Structure 1
Amino acid sequence: MKQYILILFAGLCGFTFCHLLQAQVQPETFVVGDALPDAPELSPRGTYAVGVQTVTFVNKGQVDILKSKEGSEPKYDRPLKVEIWYPATLPGAATKLVSYESVLGRSNDPKRPIIPFNFTGRAVRDAAPNTKDGTFPLVIVSHGYPGSRYLLTYLTENLASKGYVVAAIDHTESTYQDLSGFQSTLLNRPKDILFVLNQLAELSKPKGKHFLSGLADASNTALIGYSMGGYGVLNVAGAGYSSQLTTFFTNMTGGSKAIEVRTSQSPEYKASMDSRIKAIVAFAPWGMERGIWDSEGLQGLKTPTFFIAGSQDDVSGYEKGVKAIYTGSVNADRYMLVYVNARHNVAPNPPPAQTLQPGMTMDEYYHYAEPAWNERRINNINQHFVTAFLGIHLKKQDFQKYLQPESDTTKPWPGFKPRTSVGLELLHDSPVK
């Protein structure tokens, strides 16, 4: 009897019925940012459909530091491509997947040629924005050196699905495709972030014709930065650079002191503090081990800040690097999530499938991967904590419990499934009075 039933079922599979059955039971392909079975409570995507569009801004008349010489600082118009994710309204039949175009390699390294690749996200290109739920807080994302606006799509899409407008910058001369001298990144990173904030604020004004009009609330903004992006967002938020950076920069550029405008003693820097910025997330911010900040500069950071670091970071450093920034930022209400035994890659998407192909070097794989951690797991944990932190400061949501881990190590942290809050530390310090 059993054999007859199996034969009958096999016969049925010759018809369309079999294909229908397979479609019902076959699991959906994993997409960057999807929640794993052990993902913390706030990790999964929110209720909003997500749209995505690309815009380009041009910051005119900027110092062309790569062509500067002692006594001469030529100017150029600096283009910045920005990817924007936002809550969207979709027709019933619309697909919710998008293909992103990125590259591996380095434009300035013949040993690491540029290799284009595509990967899938959960968004709809040029979808109509959701205009019925009012304005949404703005989040600006700054990548590392090198990087791209697509380096953290697991997080940018996730936040958009939870009711944020999220803008990720391609920093000119700092991406895989146009990688140039480091002095450009040192000078332009915070300036790019402020310029983009101002451009988005202008486009978001009500009654305009841009898709952002009436959609983003630039007066309620958070900044997220990874590595050199962390270097940038901390400076924008109040951590003025040290005089040692001026010396370092001047030696690198053959005499230019253009970086002085972002140092803690600069009147121009002090005047640039922006009350629209309500919260900062700094992944593995670079610079402390190089003397980029001193005690005075770090005391200028007063914006609530969430640091995320690996305890074995060998790029930004940990004890004398990220943790030293955290410790020295005495006037900010601040947290630091530590991935124990992780190195520097505590922020990006998982390694693209292309990095696993035969002949691909370890360099491309390890631009994304962590030796002691599953990158998808890191992504989920980051989604959870960034959702909690930004929810508190930009949406006034009651998420404080998620930032108060259990002192009893046998119990899971709030929002974590049993046995999963291991390998993590969460520090918190209030501002001095």
Structure 2
Amino acid sequence: MNEEAGLNRIDGMRPDGPGFGALAVGVRTLELVHAGRKDVLRGGVRDRRLTVEYWYPAVAGGGAEYRTLLRDGRRAVVLRGRAGRGAEALAGDYPLVILSHGFPGNRILMSHFGEFLASHGYRVASIDHEESTYGDAAYLGGKAFPSTLVNRAADTGFVAGELGGDYAIIGYSMGGYGALVAGGARLSQTARDWAAGEGFDLPLPEVPARLKAILPIGPWGRQRDLWDASGMAELAVPMFLMAGSEDHVSDYPSMRRIWAEARGERHLLTFQGAGHNAAAPIPAPSEAWERTEGLSFVPFEHYADAIWDTLRMNNIAQGFALWFLDRHLKGLAAEAPAVPLGVTLEHGQ
């Protein structure tokens, strides 16, 4: 077990990382209710409850603890960072970044982005997508996937509306699917016909005027023809896609098709040799190094890559995300970070 895992830190920064910003960071846990949503799993209408971890520039920081669950949905763990829990917000107009986890996941899975971006002048809201989190009964019962397909873009749009301001979405795996849908990538007729046969309708959301960019990481769906080339060409916002070249979950060649078929400004950052866990998850908590009842694999495998150091990937992803967000949410025109060894960066217009 390495030292970083033993400390369960979400705020690790290597000497060759991009560095935290000058601002202190606060954090709060919000409980939001999206009233009157169609219940995909049970029929009828119900309120959709979304727990959100919300980071922001603060007057003073602290040493926040984050109490969460491991991948098994049962074992409690405590993670630590630099934010001040409930700290007074720093006055100012800060753009918003929405974090959308995978299936399953939770609002802490990408929390390294939260503290980092807030220190650089962003508000960051990470969502627990109901029916897609580790401990959710619907997920544990194996019935939750239609809810993820239908609700991801609606969840991010609702949270952005509640918190206000221009925003971007960083989405991992199924969160990447939701980011693409929110950004205007039209789902295929093949996907719609399949969903209708399963008894639900896929979303056709309008692109919110305040959504300025998306950053899908390992986005799932192109390998199952959820989009075709014409639908992907309708993506209406700039995109920075991150992927591992050995991702066999979302399928790296299919993610390259997302990048190639989209139009407008788009970038593809590839971690050579990395799998599906590239860039997005926090370093595996110390408890994840042990086997746990109810899983056929060690929870460590949900967070870590077989080749790459997780903290190294986190820091690389943070640096490029900051550059891209500064460009589209703050209008800054800085040079992109240098491309590290083992990573490739491709551009499209």
Q: TM-score, structure 2 length as denominator?
A: 0.92
In structure 2, distance between residues paired with 1:62 and 1:335: 34
Q: 1:33 aligns with which of 2, 8, 11?
A: 11
- 1:347-426 residue pairs with structure 2 within 5 A? 347-357=280-290, 362-402=297-337, 414=338, 421-426=340-345
In structure 1, distance between residues paired with 2:184 and 2:298: 34
Structure 1 residue identity aligned to 2:289? L
Q: Does 1:292 align with 2:226?
A: yes
8 Å CA contact 1:278–1:303 kept in 2: the answer is: yes
State, as a whole percentage, how many aligned pairs show the same letter: 39
In structure 2, distance between residues paired with 1:67 and 1:358: 34
In structure 2, distance between residues paired with 1:343 and 1:194: 29
Structure 2 residue identity aligned to 1:149? R
Displacement after TM superposition at 1:375 (Å): 0.4
In structure 1, distance between residues paired with 2:39 and 2:16: 48
Q: Which residue of 2 aligns with 1:82?
A: 52
In structure 2, distance between residues paired with 1:191 and 1:52: 24
Displacement after TM superposition at 1:382 (Å): 0.6
Displacement after TM superposition at 1:299 (Å): 1.0
Aligned residues: 335
Q: Which residue of 2 aligns with 1:245?
A: 191
The alignment partner of 2:109 has SS state of coil
In structure 2, distance between residues paired with 1:78 and 1:57: 8
Structure 2 residue identity aligned to 1:156? G
The alignment partner of 1:323 has SS state of helix
8 Å CA contact 1:33–1:379 kept in 2: the answer is: no
In structure 1, distance between residues paired with 2:316 and 2:109: 17
Q: Which residue of 1 aligns with 2:266?
A: 334
Q: Does 1:142 align with 2:105?
A: no
Give the unaligned 5+ runs of structure 1.
1-28, 69-73, 108-113, 202-217, 263-268, 403-413
CA RMSD of aligned residues (A): 1.7
The alignment partner of 1:67 has SS state of coil
8 Å CA contact 1:279–1:393 kept in 2: the answer is: yes
8 Å CA contact 1:280–1:304 kept in 2: the answer is: yes
Structure 2 residue identity aligned to 1:96? G
Structure 1 residue identity aligned to 2:161? N
Deviation per CA, 1:263-292: give whole Å up to 9, x if none: xxxxxx3xx221211111110100001010
Q: Which residue of 1 aligns with 2:4?
A: none
Q: Which residue of 2 aligns with 1:343?
A: 275
Displacement after TM superposition at 1:155 (Å): 1.0
Displacement after TM superposition at 1:148 (Å): 0.6
8 Å CA contact 1:99–1:121 kept in 2: the answer is: yes
Displacement after TM superposition at 1:88 (Å): 0.3
In structure 1, distance between residues paired with 2:130 and 2:291: 31
Give the direction of change, closer, same or farther, for the CA distance of 1:358–1:167 in structure 2 (3 Å limit).
closer
Q: Does 1:51 align with 2:26?
A: yes
Q: TM-score, structure 1 length as denominator?
A: 0.74
In structure 1, distance between residues paired with 2:298 and 2:289: 11
8 Å CA contact 1:392–1:400 kept in 2: the answer is: no
8 Å CA contact 2:65–2:78 kept in 1: the answer is: yes
